[in-house]
Structure 1
Amino acid sequence: MTRAIQIRQHGGPEELELTDVPVSEPAAGQVRIRHRAIGLNFIDVYHRTGLYPLPMPATIGMEGAGVIEAVGEGVTHLQVGDRAAYASMPPGSYCEARVMPAMNVCKLPDAISFETGAAMMLKGLTAQYLLKKTLPVEGLQPGDHVLFHAAAGGVGLIACQWARVLGLQLIATAGSDEKCQLALANGAAHAINYRTEDFAARVKDITGGRGVKVVYDSVGKDTWDQSLDCLRPFGLMASFGNASGPVPPFAPGALGAKGSLYVTRQTLFSHISSRQATQAMADDLFAVVASGQVKIHMAQRYALADVQQAHRDLEARKTTGSTILTLP
């Protein structure tokens, strides 16, 4: 048996219950990992509320780090005793130990702690595919402007630093002056408090009226329309989340009127659909973190038993950087 956080129905944070669940031996292609730390992400809220519905009862959580306890047949890239970290489907990381598919589990370099590993895999791999793979038709070159919403969050602070490494001029938005300062301290070239400023107007000022080549948006409904106004002709609107709610239907003709724009809805799990792709992206992330060029900010830690409060704080946008759940 292992301790785990489960939900028996979709709903609010009060649905998250600490309970005992059985844990088995891994089958072919699986591993059993004992967690040392667990990552908290906004997708966990979507699973809890039912925006992304799950069969019940469900253990949620997409990210963790720990030690491999057992290896199933056919798994060759991991051995018992290896330090490991992952961002992976299916959900289930809110627990002390779990059996899971081995495909997205990667050996964690000795230079990276378990807490850092748990805090960075989903968010860091997301920043990697956004900045390296989710590109406008004209590509990105050093000096180009990009707009990144929620830039003081876990993905955002990694993206601010990584964009600076790539020579990009990242324009950050956040919901308070303090969060804007945090984004600037982590490499953003400009920061806009979207609660007190018209971010579309500021973007046009910053870019001399041209607009940005790409907008990276995990906020959704509240930022969508103005974000389209921030793009230059042939620019890319890259949606990868819905923190304020799903984007409502829109007329494709509006994209033509605003400059023949492109729109894409990205998800990490399309990018890590093979062992080779997962490892290549993880190696890129491990290298930039181990070098010190990108630092992972763990601004909040909660005990696994306090996960209800963690979800309340995340939904209230009280958090910055990455949040982890700790184990005894």
Structure 2
Amino acid sequence: MSEYLQHAKSVVADYHRRLDETLASVPDQRSAAGDDIAAALASSITGDHLWRGMHPFYEQHGAHAVADVFWGPLRAAMAPLQRRVDVLLAGDNDADGGATTWVCSMGHFLGLFDSPWLDIPPTRRALPLRYVEFSRVDGDRIGESALFLDLIAVMRHAGHYPLPPTTGQPGVYLGPRTADGVLAEPQDPDESAATLELAWRMAGDLDEANRVAREQGSDRMPRDVLARCWHEDMLWIGPDGIGSSYTIDRYQQQHSYPFRFGLADKEFHGHVARIAEGCYAAWFGWANVTNRPRGGYLGLPSSGPAEMRVVDVYRREGDKLADNWVFIDLLHWLSQQGLRPLERMRRLVGIEEF
């Protein structure tokens, strides 16, 4: 199986190479049309490829749709684009009993934000666009993918941050402390299994705490529950809008308690992909969880149930987790509550039609 995981990573690396060559070019007219991008995608993906993107992109099918809706407009706004990868891992999907194989790539795209994107005004400065991408590899092609970005960070860079101040620190997007996240060589399967078991056990602790909270009417999670699976100097790297937290105590104060106190009726819905390789693990859902804002979380009022599409990427160090990179499709979550930050921004910058 390690040979197939290496093959899966080579398929994704080839896809990156072909796509990135087109993204690094600057279109003559900076047009949103991307026939060359569609051709690059078509050379790497299956004919019935399913692409999942964050709000406002959502699900697309086939190379031309993905190029027209996402990659073409992005390149038109930020060319030339380069990809900087911090983490790359592959694994058989624990969420479907190993029936599929997925590759996770995480890092940044770097571009010159010279033209509007989603009507976000350009800064004419270098923009690091944080991303994580999951790719399901079928033979020599990619049959399904999901791409998460930190769009609220782009709005913040452009001076249109749409939310009240964060509880964590925005802008802290560090790669692995050990600088070993790109797993080019085969990894010990026992190490991979240990990483996935630890991450899944940590998630189980959270589920148990949610159950106890419902029964006892308290959202307090004892510190020692977190310390079972996390290093004392853990780094939780959250999306803009929430921010990042360093150490168990600050994570508890700046993310765990606001999340637990501010959101009720949490219900887990499973993952599309859940993989591990070596000391790294990653998973995502569509959607992972639903919850009900009680009022106060992210400075927002109470609301009805809303779903969260979440990515977690973990690094294990020894017998505990040290790093956790988190992406949440917050714009989608907000849209279910009748809140549309992109539309509000368009009104503020004087764009009448949206």
Q: For the superposition of Structure 1 and Structure 2, which TM-score range results when normalised by the shorter chain?
A: under 0.3
Give TM-score scaled by structure 1 length.
0.26
Higher relative contact order (CA 8 A, sep 6+): 1
**TM-score for both structures, normalised by structure 2:** 0.25
